Chain A
Amino acid sequence: MSRADALTTLTDREAGGAPDRDRGTGARRPWGIRRARTWSVLLLFAVLWSLWDAGVGRRALVNPGGWELQRRFWAAAVHPDLSSSFVSTIGHDARTTIAFAVLGTALSVLIGLAGAVMISETWWRSRRPDRRDVRRRAGWLASRGLWSVPRGIHEAVWGLYLVNVLGRDPLVGILAIAIPFGAITAKVYAEILDETAGDAYDALRAAGAGRTSALAYGVLPAALPDLVSYAFYRFECSIRSAVILGMIGAGGIGFRLSLSFQALAYREMWTAIYALVIISAVADWWGSRLRRRGTARRVRRSALLGLALVAASIAHLRPDFGRLVSSSTRALVVELVERSWWPTAPRDGWWGLVERAVDTFQMSLLALVFASAIAIAIAFVAARGGRTPIRRAASLVARTVLVFTRAVPPPVWALLVLFVMYPGPLPGAVALGIYNFGILGRLCAEVIENLDDRSGRALAALGAPTVAVFAYATLPQTAPRMAAYALYRWEVALRETVIVGVVGAGGLGRLLEQQRAAFDYSGMLATVIALLLLSGVVDLISTAMRRTLR
């Protein structure tokens, strides 16, 4: 049985409902299998088409001259720059990155709480449940639609816009994390509130309590552990985001990493990478420990520690909150809106925008297929609970690889891949694939750990060899869930194409970066709208495919 607060459950909530949620017993859908097969065939053709378009088998993809640089980079892994001056620089940078993540998370939790109330069904439900109130239903749909926009735009794009109105201030990094993450948190919190709101809430409402007080008395206390647990999961994601934002100028380890990369100072890079691995491992460990063994006291202690971190982070970054409401900011917002409106085509016309969108789609698809293939394979090695010492050692190694691949930001992977591959969508796909492999592999390992494998043990008891137990019980019971997470991750990967696009991997991200450099704001708006539409299309495909997996 999967625990109510496992990592997988959190992802289910983000994706909007568990993939294998019970649809009532006895419902027979013999065409269910065939539909899943149709999707697989379509997917196969889409992958082949993407590979063909990316030039696989048609032109040289690998640049043999780059292997020497690649070799020098990896050789530096054993000699990170540990001089005291550089280590103290990295220490300072690490504090900056963590501070961005902490403040971004804290703000996104506040935004999330407010948003959750606005988009929860409970809030919009009429006092008398038998009556369907059209106005309330419309209000619910409208606020849901409104809140889905900010989460369709990647943190990096928010950063590009915010820097225009707020200038060089830590507020940019904080808000770039807090706005999209706040919208995701709102969606998840709304689902938690709706799950928790039961008879207690209805009874309070029936007794005449207002909606706010009924929520505060009847729902919030019971939902609190889940809300806190998700906030810590968001913190794990915020760390990764803060690094990416750092690379595009917010400062911290990400920025140091890109400076060292430009100078080809590999030994410095490795110091930064090791620091990232440690930070990311500690954040992941903290969050998963809270989810697995989170007693009320531990949760409270972690929350207090979180508050202390918020105070320390404000002191470290010293964001100028006054800028949020200053008249110059307001003027800059007005100017930005005026210069952006109305959206215009890029230099090569609307058709060029469509071509870029197709590139982006292909890049995300290849990234995901690549990531999920190796993630699912390695998840079986990485899953905890091996019985022999060799299995346990292999699991530790696999886990380390996973932590490492997700701690290194995608733009760094992209630059590394670009050493040995000619530019185009393919290196972008490989870079995104490596990064998502780290995230997906961890999720899939948890699916396997949570599997209640009594069926497998029953087969082993009748003498089935290990391979057969794996093929007849373990794989069929876990593969649908893992595929569902891979499909959900595709939605996220599409948004992430922006950040590898920025470093030259192509697609809409590359276009956005060029337009930003040329101060072409109306063109940027068209590109962002194209990204939103594309992400809506991928969401629809992914949701339809996940439905056949149930």
Chain B
Amino acid sequence: MTSILALHHVGVRFGDHMALVDVDVAIGPGERVALVGPSGAGKTTFLRLADRSVTPTSGTVATFGADRVPTGAADARAACRRVGTVHQHLHLVGPLRVVHNVNAGHLGRWTRRRALWSLVRPREVDAARAALDRLGIADKLGERTDRLSGGEQQRVALARLLVQDPELVLADEPVASLDPARAEEVMDLLCDVVAGRTRTLVVSLHDFDLARRRCDRLIGLRAGRVVFDAPAADVTDAMGHALYRIDR
């Protein structure tokens, strides 16, 4: 089976600090993987390796079965659009209308002219509306994004991801600033609507129980090392306690 994301003995060093040490992980298509662990364990670095914004100090990172690093600009662009990212702070453009923020998911594919012209006369409105409809806010299509509530903006960000249609979805603490009920709701949307059964999802989470309920597989990170890598059903409370233990 080809893997979507494979890390072979990867180490990442920032100055004197080892962010990741000898990480060896392969993630297959359709898997839902949660990265868990205390603050500073290397969860964000792991995700940034996946979208190639960090290069490993040692070892290799392969996405979509090819460990070849994309060479040309067009190649790099093609690799970019297969990976979609959910940011904790959403990174939407407030003054633009919702339809343009959703359509921004197309930007990795569209030509320059098409992208610019769409700002004047929105293209592929039906696709945008369909995506918003699946998230339950189709009526917001023509509104200014910064006039929406926080929850609605979260849905706009997810709709952009639906339109982008990536094969690998990365999410860095998507629910860190939400209360438990809203966190549950956002995870629902992220897992069922956006990831579905076909896309691969790698999500970093603070909430250990949420991770066990929503994901198939948990990778526990601590001080840059993989402490455990197991199916969600096999992860016990004791493993969680050991992971978050505070050394004195």
Interface residues of A (CB under 8 A from B): 25-30, 32-33, 454-455, 457-459, 461-465, 467-469, 471-473, 476-477, 479-480
Contacts and interface: CB of A to CB of B under 8 A. Distances in A.
B80 A455 contact: no
Nearest to B101: A472
Contacts of B92: 455
22 contacts: A25-B150, A27-B147, A32-B144, A32-B147, A33-B97, A454-B87, A454-B91, A455-B92, A458-B87, A458-B91, A459-B107, A462-B80, A462-B108, A463-B108, A465-B115, A467-B115, A467-B116, A471-B116, A471-B119, A472-B104, A472-B107, A480-B95
A472 B100 contact: yes
Contacts, number: 86
B174 to A, nearest CB: 14
A57 B84 CA distance: 53
Interface in B13-59: 51, 53
A37 to B, nearest CB: 13
Interface string B115-139: 1100100000000000000000000
B78 interface: yes
Contacts of B108: 462-464
Interface in B154-171: 164, 166
Nearest to A481: B95
A29 B115 CA distance: 27
Which residue, B87, B95, B109, B143, has most C-beta atoms of chain A within 10 A? B95
Contact of A26 (B53, B80, B104, B149): B149
Given A461-B53, A467-B116, A476 B95 contact: yes
Contacts of A467: 112, 115-116
Nearest to B87: A458
B93 interface: yes
A18 to B, nearest CB: 14
B85 A462 contact: yes
A458 B94 contact: no
A33 B96 CA distance: 11
Interface string B57-100: 00000000000000000001111110111010101111111001
B105 interface: yes
Given A25-B149, A28-B147, A463-B107, A477 B94 contact: yes
B105 A462 contact: yes
Which residue, B76, B93, B150, has most C-beta atoms of chain A within 10 A? B93
Contacts of B100: 472
Q: Which secondary structure characterizes the binding site on chain A?
A: helix
Nearest to A460: B80
Q: Give 9 closest A-B pairs by Cβ, nearest first.
A: A463-B108, A463-B80, A464-B107, A458-B91, A468-B115, A463-B81, A463-B77, A455-B91, A476-B95
A25 B150 CA distance: 9
Nearest to A549: B95
B147 A463 contact: no
Nearest to B95: A476
B177 to A, nearest CB: 14
Nearest to B97: A33
A480 B95 CA distance: 8
A454 B100 CA distance: 17
Contacts of A454: 87, 89, 91
Nearest to A470: B116
Given A26-B149, A462-B85, A476-B95, A468 B112 contact: yes
Contacts of B95: 476-477, 479-480
Contacts of A25: 149-150
A455 B77 CA distance: 17
Contacts of A457: 91
A2 to B, nearest CB: 15
B144 A33 contact: yes
Contacts of B144: 32-33
Contacts of B143: 28, 30
A104 to B, nearest CB: 39
A256 B143 CA distance: 57
Contacts of B53: 461
A387 B150 CA distance: 34
Nearest to B113: A467
Contacts of B110: 468
Which residue, A458, A462, A464, has most C-beta atoms of chain B within 10 A? A462
A476 B93 contact: yes
A331 to B, nearest CB: 59
Contacts of B76: 463
B93 A477 contact: yes
A468 B116 contact: yes
A462 B81 contact: yes
Nearest to A22: B146
A462 B164 contact: yes
Contacts of A33: 97, 144
A321 B115 CA distance: 65
Contacts of A479: 95
Nearest to B103: A472
A459 B119 contact: no
A473 B80 contact: no
Contacts of A471: 115-116, 119
Nearest to B85: A461
A35 to B, nearest CB: 12
Contacts of B51: 461
B93 A455 contact: yes
Contacts of B104: 459, 462, 464, 472
A463 B53 CA distance: 12
Contacts of A477: 93-95
Contacts of A29: 147
B243 to A, nearest CB: 29
A454 B90 CA distance: 9
Contacts of B79: 463
A462 B87 contact: no
B104 to A, nearest CB: 5
B181 to A, nearest CB: 18
A477 B107 CA distance: 17
Given A463-B107, A471-B116, 11 more contacts: A459-B104, A459-B107, A461-B80, A463-B81, A463-B108, A465-B77, A465-B115, A469-B107, A471-B119, A472-B107, A476-B95
Interface string B200-235: 000000000000000000000000000000000000
Contact of B112 (A459, A461, A463, A465): A465
A454 B91 CA distance: 6
Contacts of A32: 144, 147
Given A32-B144, A471-B116, A462 B91 contact: no
A469 B97 CA distance: 15
Contacts of A476: 93-96
Contacts of B116: 467-468, 471
A13 to B, nearest CB: 23
A454 B51 CA distance: 15
A458 to B, nearest CB: 4
